[in-house]
Amino acid sequence: MATPQSRPEVTLQVRRTFAAPREEVFAAWTEPEQLEKWMCRDVPAHIIIHHQQDIRTGGGYQMEIRDPAKGETYWGQGTYREVTPPEKLVFTWAWSKDRPDGPSMHPGSHETLVTVEFFARENSTEVVLTHTGLGTAALRDDHRGGWNGCFDVLAKVLPSPAA
């Protein structure tokens, strides 16, 4: 697949500082048992099934999100382009409906690219997530809400700093 193209008006950047060391925050993104505790869990009613989590450069992921309130199923999938512990993750991101090869949830939008950078800040970690290739400002805003919701859950599941 072609590399997603970025246009400034449809690029999203989210920054968040977590009260945990960089290695622990990176592990929350790269260890499947930890990732399953927070990724796409921003809506409590959603049922998330992680079918694949091969977190290595060239590996892939596939998750199924069931929305009982809407009676819909969404599939998120992509490929890890770069995994550089504990500094950086780069992966493709695509959503479809009903089945993994089903219609795009966002017609007119192609596979996008997510870059996550981890910066040590004393006893905390700043995470900078950049999501490029979003087709419209509305999709950017929709994804901003989703990523911020996921980050809220991540902050709750990370180990608490020592007193």
| pLDDT in the model for residue 163 | 43
Q: Is the dihedral of CA 53, 57, 59, 65 positive or negative?
A: positive
From the number of C-beta atoms within 10 Å of its C-beta (0-12, 13-18, 19+), residue 37 rates as middle
Q: Tell me, what CATH number does 119's domain have? A: 3.30.530.20
Domain hosting 66: range is 9-157
Shortest CA distance to 118 belongs to which of 44, 26, 4? Answer: 26
| pLDDT in the model for residue 103 | 76
Q: What is the value of pTM for the model shown? A: 0.89
Whether residue 98 is contained in a domain is answered as: yes
| pLDDT in the model for residue 2 | 47
Whether residue 92 is contained in a domain is answered as: yes
pLDDT confidence bin for 1, thresholds 50/70/90: very low
Whether residue 163 is contained in a domain is answered as: no
Question: Structural domain tally of the chain?
Answer: 1
Residue-wise pLDDT tens digits, 16-73:
999 999 999 999 999 999 999 999 999 989 999 999 999 999 999 999 999 999 898 9
Q: What are phi and psi of 118, to 5 degrees?
A: -120, 120
pLDDT confidence bin for 109, thresholds 50/70/90: low
Whether residue 130 is contained in a domain is answered as: yes
